[in-house]
């Protein structure tokens, strides 16, 4: 008999948000995310789509209400729409039954022109698109391989399909500081939400230095306040962002600040990598192997036991820190492996 007790961590936080990476591969090579010449995982190490379905279904039984699919770039995974179509069954549930409130994804937008309509048909209603600049040349430079025009076509396709879009922008000193107001005003015109994210110390970037990229969001927010009236909002979407409204435009702006002001006290989420590693905290190295119990038995008892044991080890918070011109709390794995 399976246990349906909710997932509660040692600090009485209910874990109801799961982020799952379906691939470490990506068609971009963003300079803050991965090295230009990446060595990707052997395909045999990745969970199959069927294993991902079984894993996510176990979490749903245990109380997860929000499922975000990430990568790498999730839409480059072969056959990925069969996974979305299968997981959509958890959105259609009888009153009182456990299931998903939301199925969503984070994408670089490169494949949206092709997949926007099928995603909507599978029950996805809201997506995050990672976009750090509106300048085509700078976009090519930051992504190394990407086409801004292709991403913009994808965004148009997503809006036409009925998907609500939030733009995620990594704040990068010396790169997109001058575009702050352009990005905000573009999102206001297009009726898209916008969230800024501090660059996080994850993975070896080779020649790229984290401290050179780091633009604290308290400084970015102060810049916004020079032009707009910012009103604090109590709004939450289940993630780590804190929100304000720009009164002059009426739009919502989010701030994800893992370094200048972490959000650990309300953390309700865990992450599973494409190889089945469960990370209880983005900024800690401790993890649990879920691939082994998945492949050891067709029954889910040992899988559920491994999940509960891992949640019992979830730490109070992470240790990211750029103070004193050094990088504290850096983790060795790349964001593309853990899931963006």
- Establish whether 19 is an annotated binding residue: yes
Q: According to the annotation, is 228 in a ligand binding site? A: no
Q: Is 17 annotated as a binding residue?
A: no
Helix (H) or strand (E) holding 113: helix 112-121
Long-range contacts of 178-182 (CB under 8 A, 24+ apart): 179/133, 179/134, 179/135, 180/220, 180/223, 180/224, 181/227, 182/134
Asked if residues 140 and 176 have their Cβ atoms less than 8 Å apart, the reply is no
CB 18 within 8 A of CB 66: yes
Q: DSSP assignment, residue 323? A: G
CA angle 35, 169, 122 (to 5 degrees): 95
Parallel, antiparallel, or unpaired for β 17-21 and 269-272? parallel
Residue 187 assigned to a binding site: no
What whole-number distance in Å separates Cα of residue 58 and Cα of residue 279?
16
Tell me: is residue 313 an annotated ligand-binding position.
no
64-78: b or e for each residue (b if 16 or more CB lie within 10 Å)?
Answer: bbbbbbbbbbbbbbe
Q: Is 96 annotated as a binding residue?
A: no
CB of 169 closer than 8 Å to CB of 193:
no
8 Å CB contact between 274 and 47? yes
Structure tokens, 305: 């036991």
73 and 111 Cβ atoms separated by less than 8 Å:
yes
316 is in an annotated binding site: no
- Tell me whether residue 56 is annotated as binding: no
And the tokens for 121?
């048909």
- Does 151 show up as a binding residue in the annotation? no
Annotated binding residue 26 = yes
CA separation, residue 283 to residues 95, 289, 332 (Å): 37, 17, 10
Specify the DSSP element, H or E, that contains 291: helix 291-296
Instruction: State yes or no: 72 annotated in a binding site.
Output: yes
264 has binding-site annotation: yes
- Asked if residue 32 belongs to a known ligand binding site, the reply is yes
Residues 123 and 88 sit within 8 Å (Cβ to Cβ): yes
Q: Is 267 labelled a binding residue?
A: yes
33 is in an annotated binding site: yes
Binding-site residue positions for S-adenosyl-L-methionine: 32, 72, 130, 200
Where is the binding site for GTP, in residues?
A: 19, 68, 106, 166, 269-271
Task: List binding-site positions for [4Fe-4S] cluster.
Answer: 26, 30, 33, 264, 267, 281
Annotated binding site: 19, 26, 30, 32-33, 68, 72, 106, 130, 166, 200, 264, 267, 269-271, 281
């Amino acid at each position: 008999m399976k246990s349906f007790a909710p997932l509660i961590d040692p600090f009485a936080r209910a874990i109801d948000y799961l982020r799952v990476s379906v691939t470490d591969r990506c068609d971009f090579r963003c300079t803050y995310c991965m090295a230009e010449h990446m060595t990707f995982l052997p395909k045999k190490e990745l969970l199959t789509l069927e294993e991902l379905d079984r894993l996510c279904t176990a979490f749903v039984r245990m109380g997860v209400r929000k499922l975000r699919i990430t990568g790498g770039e999730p839409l480059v995974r072969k056959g990925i729409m069969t996974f979305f179509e299968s997981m959509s069954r958890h959105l259609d549930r009888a009153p009182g039954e456990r299931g998903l409130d939301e199925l969503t994804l984070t994408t670089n937008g490169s494949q949206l022109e092709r997949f926007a309509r099928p995603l909507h048909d599978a029950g996805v209603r809201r997506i995050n698109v990672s976009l750090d600049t509106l300048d085509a040349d700078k976009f090519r430079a930051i992504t190394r391989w990407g086409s801004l025009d292709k991403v913009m076509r994808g965004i148009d396709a997503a809006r036409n399909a009925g998907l609500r879009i939030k733009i995620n922008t990594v704040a990068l000193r010396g790169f997109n500081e001058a575009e702050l107001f352009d990005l905000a005003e573009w999102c206001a015109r297009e009726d898209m939400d916008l969230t800024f994210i501090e660059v996080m110390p994850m993975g070896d970037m080779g020649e790229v230095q984290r401290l050179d990229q780091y633009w604290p969001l308290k400084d970015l927010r102060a810049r916004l306040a020079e032009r707009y009236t910012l009103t604090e909002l109590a709004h939450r979407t289940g993630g780590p962002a804190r929100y304000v409204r720009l009164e002059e435009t009426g739009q919502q702006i989010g701030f994800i600040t893992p370094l200048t002001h972490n959000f650990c006290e309300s953390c309700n989420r865990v992450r599973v990598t494409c190889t089945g590693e469960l990370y209880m905290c983005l900024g800690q190295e401790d993890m649990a192997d879920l691939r082994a119990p998945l492949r050891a038995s067709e029954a889910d008892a040992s899988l559920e036991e491994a999940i509960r044991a891992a949640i019992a080890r979830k730490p109070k918070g992470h240790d990211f820190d750029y103070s004193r011109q050094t990088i504290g709390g850096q983790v060795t794995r790349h964001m593309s492996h853990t899931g963006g």
